[in-house]
Structure 1
Amino acid sequence: MPTEKSLLDILWVLVCSGLVLIMQGGFLVLESGLTRAKNSINVAIKNVADFGVATLLFYSFGFGLMFGTSWHSVFGTSLFFPNFQPGDAWAPTFFIFQLVFCGTSATIVSGAVAERLKFSSYMLATALISGFIYPIVGHWSWGAGILEEKNGWLSSIGFHDFAGSTLVHSVGGWVSLALLMVVGPRIGRFPKDSAPMQVTGSNLPMAMLGGILLWFGWMGFNGGSTLSFDEKVPGIILNTVVSSGFSMMVAMMLAWGIKGFPEPTAPLNGSLIGLVAVTAAADCLTPFQSAIVGSIAGLLIYPSELLLEKLKIDDAVGAVPVHLVGGIWGTLAVGFFGDLSAMETEIGRFSLIIVQFLGILSVGIFSFGVSFLVFWALNRIFPLRVDGDEERMGLNISEHNATTELIDLFLAMDYQRKTGDLAKDVPVEPFTEVGQIAERYNLVLGKVRTTLAENEQARTEIAEAYERVRHEQDRAEKLLLNVLPPSIAAELKQNAGLIAESYPDVSILFADIVGFTRLSSKMKPESVVRILNQIFSHFDILAEKYRLEKIKTIGDAYMAVGGLPVPEKDHPLLVAHMAWDMKEILSRFKLKKSRTGLRMRIGINTGPVVAGVIGTKKFIYDIWGDAVNLASRMESHGVPGEIQVTESTAEAIRSDFELVERGNIEVKGKGFVKAFLVRRRIRNPEESLSHLNFSLGTN
């Protein structure tokens, strides 16, 4: 692996590390939602704590075992407690990326053994996988690391696991299976002489959110495994998404056909097994092949769950079918479908299949064998699971003493429901939201039999409050549309994440009032604001007239763009006509006291930009790119009272304007750029743009 990395590569890997770390949150939300409420806090704490354990052990010696100087291609013997050199940005970046991978492998176990395992036992399992098992199997295939020394033995024979279907996910699956076999199923899961009991999760929508977070994080998981930002990245991410989408639909339709209804967790685990499966070969598949890999993975999830039930292995969230079965299939799929030239392998396809199978077998024997022996031995000395009473009570209380006011309130309310005794108020925990609910409930108990009139008044107040909320929503909607384009505002309301899009061809206008700073220094502040408001209000009307997007004003400068967010092929003409009207409007504007006229410098350029929303408070819709900078230079290097355009804009507006070539202008960072001045408008916009389906109106 090359040690010389560009800053863009380093930034990309760091961003992807953050995306993979988000997967910890995805696992937390998914597993909490698929388990019962009495255990949800325990599950959440485990998903937080295991990354801490992984960090401690991976930094101490796991990273060295995985990437240090190789001992007979089995494990590393250096880089323990690594101290990276100052100025070497790539080494710590590589460490962080590998650390979040280690954390992902470790946290897989959490959901599988949920609702029965002691917290201390889980910490031991996390330590075993993150400090020993994962680093060693990782060395076998990924051991070259930052030292660029001899690879591990699996890598030497041609084993290919791009981002860890086997090395990350199957390892987590094997360790989960071993621990499940040692600790056994949850109480009541497999009753004697009856069908297995299904345990319903406490919050399935929350679990679905976890699945989406994992899907999002997987883009960094696979996309960052290139360890550089190159032309392969978009294809790898595309393969990841395609495989998951096909897998989800196949799994959902299969379960639907068998059970007669769309089972809630089928699309969830179906999408995840597709992600796991494509991870080994995301760099060497076509999108069509990725769809095949994902579809086959989707067919495997339901039979795998049935097999575990038949064997009475109680996997609380389906981690073994998703990560173990999906990892095995995805690793074999490399041999069946992988592009040999993309993998730069020297062995044939049949040999590659054998090597892939050998890799699966060796990693499975080591991961399962070591973990099963360790867990079995520990369980003989120190029972790994909680006792029956603690399990029935729930691990939130038994392991963390984490009862909640909400549970206490529900118990008191349930007592009143069963006994009918409403004389005693429910307990109130002050200074909490649940306490406030309890106080209101007690008020209801005192008045429930007294007067229907008060209930009617309460309904009236609710209706009035709703009307006020609706009024505020309408007001907020108008304010939002005044700040952002309608399409961007609609997207922002639906998606609170990053909003950004590339536009290959737009026209950017920059305008600046010549000498206004000097003139404004002699005016009162309110006069300056009033003048600019009058001028820019006219410009805003023009922007709406010509279907341009006003980007911003800075001081006495005005910026607008044509062709986004709704593409418009005639954007150069629209921008040029607006610029001409701006110049005419300003030529008629006189300062009252001095009767001084105002002039503008206007610059226009046509080219590609990136547009998006920046910030969460006082956010703006803005554009970036070299085309923006060049448009700004056209204004700043322009002639007072003139419109100066680049050659790309000039060619697009010759039908409507007479142009004069000004010559080459030296522009910082661009060298010499040919510029043109707009001398005369030879066609009216109503004539040249009559084909547009809107009225241009008049000034």
Structure 2
Amino acid sequence: MKRLALILSASLLLVLALPGLAFAQDEAPTAAELSLAMDTVWVLVAAVLVIFMQAGFAMLEVGFSRMKNVGSVVAKILVNVAIAALMFWAVGFAFTFSDGGGLQSIIGLNGFFLSGSAETYAGLSWSQVPVSAKFVFQVAFVAVSLAIVWGTMLERTKFAVYVIFAVVFAGLIYPLVAHWVWGGGWLAELGKQDFAGSTVVHLSGAAAALAGTLLLGPRLGKYDDEGRPVTIPGHNMPLAVLGVLILWVGWYGFNPGSTMAATTQIADVALTTTLAAAAGVLGAMTMSYFYRRNVDVGMGGNGAIAALVAITASCAFVAPWASIIIGFVAGIIMYLVLMFVDRIGVDDPLGAIAAHGMGGVWGTLSCGLFTTPELAAVGQPGLFYGGGFTQLGVQALGIIACGGFVFLSSLLVFAILKATIGIRVSPEQELDGLDIHEHGVYGYPDLVATDPQGANGTSPRGAVSSGRPAESAT
């Protein structure tokens, strides 16, 4: 028995030792292989952070919506991510980053369904990480841009519109603009600076949002009989602020992740991102105090988002002191534009046009002002560093071209949808809430069951929410 026990023990030790002996015979990974592995891990971590921004959009939109519509918010977030991923895999990634031959300045034409090699996607040839990692990171950006579109169209849009427009936007509209700037297109040839997407992601999303909102019209009760705006408050400000903070955290994947390499530049980009966001909060709250003599929490959150949008283009090109100016000015611009948009009859429940649109415009232009000679990896130094107006002109051209194209193409798509299936729910459905009509259940069913007035003061048929005067609902 002792001999048998010794044999079994020796056999077990030998089995356990075999994998180690096999590995010992292999060569140790080279420094280049370790570096590539670290870069790949960083890109995927950054991609996860950007994808998690969808949770931030969900909480922000839920917080600024009324209870009767919160289910529709999370439903469209889910379908947008799903469609963005599939359409970008099928055609969008190829349109954006592949070689377009004679049409290279306009669009890529190779490697559909992610079938190409690293050489196929020449627009990302500067990064050595695998194509699969590049795709996961870039598709997260598409989903963010698409999420911006719907922030302005809450509480009155048919769910089918989300689905159809998402297919066109993720499959064609966004890829074209991204190719011009990031895929070796004509704006890239001019030296257009947009490190992480103030123009490509945020301005594009806001331009499409403006097109849809103009055709959609304001929510019922948003304007009184004299055309004056009526406040329709969201139902949960803590959730909205939670959404802002999640977005802020996600931006550390958005901006530093755009290095697509685990280098010390990550820390510098994170620094400018942090300082800008902090300054944006203070800029917006300062405007709120001087304008209304109170500190508006929602405005502070939008100030942070506007500043994060603005620094996205220049985060790798500017000094820390400049990022503070960029962020503070972004908060001020956001507030002024939000008040202006509200007064001219454009109903933007989230302030996405002001935060993402004008934040994107200011952030794009700021490159032409503050880019330092040492950090100008693309294009020329800014005006304040002796670069003249050259880079500022290129940045302005990029705003006009990208913003104009996305607005007009989106307007066409929404116009076709409006003329065919319609883009807005009926007044009865809007008053009841989209949750029950579009999805068959309320986002807060317990409140509906226990409160005879329904979710957020909304009865099962036609009563208005507690956040607006009853006489304004018709």
TM range (shorter): 0.7 to 0.9
Cα distance between partner residues in 2 of 1:204 and 1:157: 44
Q: Is the 8 A contact 1:189 1:198 kept in 2?
A: yes
Does 2:436 match 1:397?
yes
- Matches for 1:478-517 after TM superposition, within 5 Å: none
Does 2:130 match 1:90?
yes
Distance change >3 Å, CA 49–CA 344, structure 1 → 2:
same
- Matches for 1:155-170 after TM superposition, within 5 Å: 155-170=188-203
Cα distance between partner residues in 1 of 2:56 and 2:295: 23
What SS does structure 1 have at the residue aligned with 2:329? helix
The corresponding residue for 1:75 is 107
- Matches for 1:636-675 after TM superposition, within 5 Å: none
Cα distance between partner residues in 2 of 1:191 and 1:122: 28
Structure 1 residue corresponding to 2:399, chosen from 360, 369, 389? 360
User: 1:84 offset after TM fit, Å?
Assistant: 6.2
The amino acid of 2:215's aligned partner reads: V
The corresponding residue for 2:451 is 411
Cα distance between partner residues in 2 of 1:31 and 1:116: 13
The count of residues paired between Structure 1 and Structure 2 equals 404
The amino acid of 1:132's aligned partner reads: L
The amino acid of 1:352's aligned partner reads: Q
Cα distance between partner residues in 2 of 1:331 and 1:353: 9
Q: Is the 8 A contact 2:276 2:308 kept in 1?
A: yes
Structure 2 residue corresponding to 1:302, chosen from 331, 335, 341? 335
The amino acid of 1:367's aligned partner reads: V
The corresponding residue for 1:127 is 167
Q: Is the 8 A contact 1:84 1:92 kept in 2?
A: no
Q: Work out which of the two has the higher radius of gyration on C-alpha atoms and give 1 or 2.
A: 1
User: 1:223 offset after TM fit, Å?
Assistant: 0.6
Structure 2 residue corresponding to 1:110, chosen from 140, 143, 150? 150
- Matches for 1:522-561 after TM superposition, within 5 Å: none
Does 2:421 match 1:382?
yes
What SS does structure 2 have at the residue aligned with 1:343? coil
The corresponding residue for 2:222 is 189
The corresponding residue for 2:323 is 290
The corresponding residue for 2:12 is none
Q: Is the 8 A contact 2:36 2:129 kept in 1?
A: no
Q: Is the 8 A contact 2:379 2:391 kept in 1?
A: no
User: 1:375 offset after TM fit, Å?
Assistant: 0.8
Cα distance between partner residues in 2 of 1:110 and 1:374: 15
User: 1:237 offset after TM fit, Å?
Assistant: 0.4
Q: Is the 8 A contact 1:107 1:126 kept in 2?
A: no
The corresponding residue for 1:457 is none
The corresponding residue for 2:75 is 45
Q: TM-score, normalised by structure 1?
A: 0.56
Distance change >3 Å, CA 85–CA 353, structure 1 → 2:
closer
User: 1:391 offset after TM fit, Å?
Assistant: 0.2
The corresponding residue for 2:408 is 369
User: 1:89 offset after TM fit, Å?
Assistant: 5.8
User: 1:195 offset after TM fit, Å?
Assistant: 2.6
Q: Is the 8 A contact 2:207 2:357 kept in 1?
A: yes
Q: Is the 8 A contact 2:110 2:116 kept in 1?
A: no
User: 1:407 offset after TM fit, Å?
Assistant: 3.0
Does 2:60 match 1:30?
yes
Distance change >3 Å, CA 223–CA 378, structure 1 → 2:
same
What SS does structure 2 have at the residue aligned with 1:294? helix
User: More helix by proportion, 1 or 2?
Assistant: 2
The corresponding residue for 1:448 is none
User: 1:134 offset after TM fit, Å?
Assistant: 0.8
Distance change >3 Å, CA 155–CA 411, structure 1 → 2:
same
Does 2:240 match 1:207?
yes
Cα distance between partner residues in 1 of 2:106 and 2:90: 19
For each residue in 1:36-64, what CA deviation from the matched residue of structure 2 results, as whole angstroms up to 9, or x when unmatched? 01000101111111000001100010001
The corresponding residue for 1:690 is none
Structure of higher RCO (CA pairs closer than 8 Å, 6+ residues apart): 2
- Matches for 1:195-344 after TM superposition, within 5 Å: 195-344=228-377
Q: Is the 8 A contact 2:192 2:378 kept in 1?
A: no
Cα distance between partner residues in 1 of 2:262 and 2:357: 29
The amino acid of 2:152's aligned partner reads: A
What SS does structure 1 have at the residue aligned with 2:318? coil
Q: Is the 8 A contact 1:57 1:130 kept in 2?
A: yes
User: 1:345 offset after TM fit, Å?
Assistant: 4.4
Q: Is the 8 A contact 1:252 1:262 kept in 2?
A: yes
What SS does structure 1 have at the residue aligned with 2:235? coil
The amino acid of 2:366's aligned partner reads: A
Cα distance between partner residues in 2 of 1:83 and 1:15: 24
Cα distance between partner residues in 2 of 1:49 and 1:174: 21
Distance change >3 Å, CA 292–CA 118, structure 1 → 2:
same
Q: Is the 8 A contact 1:43 1:111 kept in 2?
A: no
User: 1:264 offset after TM fit, Å?
Assistant: 2.1
The corresponding residue for 1:58 is 88
The corresponding residue for 1:350 is 389
Cα distance between partner residues in 2 of 1:9 and 1:199: 46
Aligned-residue sequence identity (percent) comes to 35
Q: Is the 8 A contact 1:174 1:367 kept in 2?
A: yes
User: 1:373 offset after TM fit, Å?
Assistant: 1.4
- Matches for 1:552-591 after TM superposition, within 5 Å: none
The amino acid of 2:189's aligned partner reads: S
Q: Is the 8 A contact 2:61 2:151 kept in 1?
A: yes
User: 1:125 offset after TM fit, Å?
Assistant: 2.1
The amino acid of 1:53's aligned partner reads: I
Cα distance between partner residues in 1 of 2:453 and 2:394: 62
User: 1:412 offset after TM fit, Å?
Assistant: 4.1
Q: TM-score, normalised by structure 2?
A: 0.83
User: 1:311 offset after TM fit, Å?
Assistant: 1.6
Cα distance between partner residues in 1 of 2:397 and 2:251: 26
What SS does structure 1 have at the residue aligned with 2:113? coil
Gaps of 5+ in 1: 144-150, 415-699
Cα distance between partner residues in 2 of 1:338 and 1:349: 11
Cα distance between partner residues in 2 of 1:254 and 1:62: 40
